[in-house]
Amino acid sequence: MEDHNNISKSNGDEENGSIKHQKLESAKGEMGEVIEENKRLKLLLARLANDYQSLQTNFTDILIQQEESTKATCKTSIIHEESEFITLSLGMSCTDQPSKDEKRNRNRTEKRKLDDEDLHKGLALGLDIKFDPSTNEAEVTNNSSQQRSFENEEGKGEESSEIWSHSKVMNTMKAEDKSETYQHSQLKKTRVSIRARCETQTMNDGCQWRKYGQKMAKGNPFPRGYYRCTVSPSCPVRKQVQRCAEDMSILITTYEGNHNHPLPISATAMASTTSAAASVLQSPSLTSPNSDIASTIINSSATNYNPNALNFSTHQISRPYPFYFPNSSISTINSHPTITLDITAPPPTSSGFSYIPKYSSSITGLNFSSGFSPLQSSNIPQQWSSYSGNGNYFNNGTLTQNRNQGGYVTNTGKQPFHQGHLHQPIYMSNHIISQQQSVPDSIVAATKEITTNQKFQSALTTALTTYVGNGTRAKENDVAESADMNLKLSGGDVSFTSSQNGIGFASSRYLNMPSSLNKVQQGNSVNFHHH
């Protein structure tokens, strides 16, 4: 592109022709190179996909071995049996295992409305359907069975559910959570948390969120916000947003769950990223070691995105290979398996965190000037240059319409951003830090293997980079930006604190096509993991 401009702008009049010619030639050459590289990349992609599959298989094997060896009788098998049982029973009747689920439901929902109810009719689900707690027991049973199956798929079948009122959905989700919690004894939903520099209150990830709570988290002077996705009323996805205690320019966004609806293009990047990341924590194995899903993710990460992703890839080619994922870690936080992707620049303070990798690499990774120098002249908003020294910023352009280049977009709003409060070095926010729970080494190793896998990394790279372009939202310059952000991910520096066996749940990954994915998922029997 730029070449063309240059060509048309060339100065010398007489030599214009030859110069033109030269440039044309070089341009052609470059194009040829690009095309070549494109081919190579495609090949590489294919190869990587294969590698990834084999890796998945290995991972699966390891998991299976581990399961067999350690908890031969305990958890997993129980989980399997129960889930199958549940799944089956759901279709028929829900009366067989009211136990804790229902108790809980009752506690939460009905307790507020009525007091005593029989366990069976006590199903909050049925009651909520009716909106009248005290009547229609028979119907309740029916409805609840339906709803149970609906739960099973964790929103999969929720197209129809959009009719339902919010409270219904909530209850459904609650039930889901509860049962899952109980059956997995400890494991909760997988979470993906992303540390990014962001001046605004929340990252603009393309999704619509409604805030439903805010709390002061322990060990962090900044409040934590709780958001839920409002794109679809039934969408189970939540996110928590909290500013980093040590560096208030870092915003930690933690995603949980998978969207059960088509996403706006601008949101697919983040959704895919979190899905891909979450998939690392989830055992693809257990029942069927289907690596297709993994590759599906990868593929969608690589191609299914918005056009930006594609364009980005062409840019990507021209730049040096190494991607950096400065800090990423897998940990267990409050019994939530959590993968943390750190796309900030140099870690501000490493107060005792051994897992934070060396600054040097991060710093170099930070410097995107190398990546986008050719483009900078043409379409780069100036803000970027001002940020470039500090790292990747994810400001919410929608709030601040920062087209006019000015420096910072301090839209911090109501958040207590007084510098005075900051310096207290309160770490121990519930981060990666530590929560050693004995984890089979094999799992850790396997997980590490996958996480460090370049394939995975590149998937994330693509996703994140695309996301960056969207997040910054400078009108049609998205393409350039996504390339320019030059997010770098590296296979190194992945540290592990602890993780439980990835028998997580939440494997449903809806990117754009819930319905088609349903099949995949069912084929994968992922459902079982949920219950």
Partner DNA sequence: CGCATTTGACCCGCGC
Partner DNA sequence: GCGCGGGTCAAATGCG
Q: In this complex, which beta carbon is closest to Zn ion, that of residue 86 or of residue 231?
A: 231
Q: Does 315 bind DNA (CB under 7 A)?
A: no
Least Cβ distance, residue 355 to Zn ion (angstroms): 31
Tokens of 384: 């970027």
Q: Give the footprint of DNA on residues 89-128 (CB under 7 A).
A: 104, 107-109, 111-112
Q: Looking at 75, 184, 238, 530, which residue binds DNA (CB under 7 A)?
A: 238
β 327-333/494-496 pair status: parallel
Minimum distance from CB of 28 to DNA (Å)? 51
- Residue 186, judged by CB atoms within 10 A of its CB (0-12, 13-18, 19+), counts as exposed
9 touching DNA, by CB under 7 A? no
Which among 250, 256, 219, 253 has a CA at the least distance from the CA of 235? 256
Select 170 or 485, whichever has its Cβ closest to Zn ion.
Answer: 170
104: partner contacted, choices Zn ion, DNA, none (Cβ within 5-8 A by kind): DNA
Count of residues touching Zn ion (by CB under 5 A): 5
Stretch that binds DNA, among 67-75, 151-159, 224-232, 488-496 (CB under 7 A): 224-232
- Residue pair 151/87 in contact (Cβ under 8 Å)? The answer is no
Should residue 480 be labelled a site residue for Zn ion when binding is judged by CB under 5 A? no
Q: Is 28 in the site for DNA (CB under 7 A)?
A: no
Q: CB–CB of 224/240 below 8 Å?
A: yes
Rule CB under 7 A: choose which of 209, 355, 393, 456 binds DNA.
209
First vs last C-alpha separation in the chain: 53
The residues, any chain, with a CB within 8 Å of residue 269's CB and separated by 6 or more, are: 205, 206, 305, 306, 308, 309, 463, 464, 465, 466, 467, 469, 470
- Of positions 4, 28, 40, 211, contacts DNA by CB under 7 A: 211
CB of 412 to DNA, least distance (A): 12
Cross-strand pairs, 227: 211, 239
Cβ-based nearer residue to DNA, 23 or 113: 113
| 29 HSE (CA, 13 A, CB side) | 6
Told to check if 334 binds DNA by CB under 7 A, we report yes
Minimum CB–partner distance for residue 191 and DNA (Å):
8
The Cα 365–Cα 326 span in angstroms is 8
Verify binding: residue 271, Zn ion, rule CB under 5 A. Answer: no
Identify which of 188, 224, 218, 282 has the alpha carbon closest to the alpha carbon of residue 433.
Answer: 218
User: Of 246, 148, 264, 143, which is closest to residue 206 (Cα–Cα)?
Assistant: 264
* From Zn ion, DNA, none, interface partner of 309 (C-beta below 5 to 8 A by class): none
Q: Applying CB under 7 A, does 336 fall inside the site for DNA?
A: yes
Give which of DNA, Zn ion, none residue 231 binds (C-beta under 5 to 8 Å, depending on kind).
Zn ion
The CA distance from 186 to 112, in Å, is: 27
**Distances, alpha carbon 79 to alpha carbons 83, 262, 495, 520, in Å:** 6, 31, 29, 21
Which of the stretches 151-159, 329-337, 356-364, 400-408 binds DNA when contact is defined by CB under 7 A?
A: 329-337
Footprint of Zn ion on residues 222-241 (CB under 5 A)? 229, 231, 235, 237
Note the residues at the interface with Zn ion (CB under 5 A): 229, 231, 235, 237, 259
Note the residues at the interface with DNA (CB under 7 A): 104, 107-109, 111-112, 167, 170, 173-174, 178, 181, 186, 208-215, 217-219, 224-226, 230, 238, 240, 334-336, 414, 430
